[in-house]
Amino acid sequence: QVQLQESGPGLVKPSETLSLTCAVSGYSISSGYYWGWIRQPPGKGLEWIGSIYHSGSTYYNPSLKSRVTISVDTSKNQFSLKLSSVTAADTAVYYCARHVSRRQFDYWGQGTLVTVSS
């Protein structure tokens, strides 16, 4: 069974870089699919951040593109998110998920809350 698990600091200072990792088990990232990040501010809706293929090709939400980097480490079967110059508006639960290109997100991590505060 495919499982995803986010990890990283729960508290980040304003202007710093948010870094999260998603460890995948039960499926090899190298076998295919896209791997994405989605966030949800407290009490609000879902926002797609960006996605990566196992080859390393990426595509990002244009509204976040200038601050986002997503990378993949197939040897560790994990992928990562970096979001720079964070502000309080970046406070959210961050989810990692698997998806078919141009299609649905079928497996999700449990999510991790990241708070931006000094």
Partner 1 sequence: EIVLTQSPGTLSLSPGERATLSCRASQSVSSSYLAWYQQKPGQAPRLLIYGASSRATGIPDRFSGSGSGTDFTLTISRLEPEDFAVYYCQQYGSSLMYTFGQGTKLEIK
Which chain residues interact with partner 1 by CB under 8 A?
A: 36, 45-48, 51, 59, 61-62, 95, 97, 102-106, 108-111
Q: How far apart are CA 115 and CA 118, in angstroms?
A: 10
- In this structure, what token pair is assigned to residue 10? 């729960």
Task: Spell out a b/e string for 49-85, using b for 16 or more CB atoms within 10 Å of the CB, else e.
Answer: bbbbebeeebebeeebeebbbbebeeeebbbbbebee
How far from each other are the two terminal CA atoms of the chain, in whole angstroms? 39
| Shortest separation between residue 17's beta carbon and partner 1, angstroms | 23
* 14 vs 56, beta carbon nearer partner 1: 56
* 2 vs 13, beta carbon nearer partner 1: 2
Task: Tell me how many helices (H) and strands (E) the chain has.
Answer: 0, 11
* 66 vs 118, beta carbon nearer partner 1: 66
* 15 vs 57, beta carbon nearer partner 1: 57
| Shortest separation between residue 86's beta carbon and partner 1, angstroms | 21
| Shortest separation between residue 102's beta carbon and partner 1, angstroms | 4
| Shortest separation between residue 39's beta carbon and partner 1, angstroms | 11
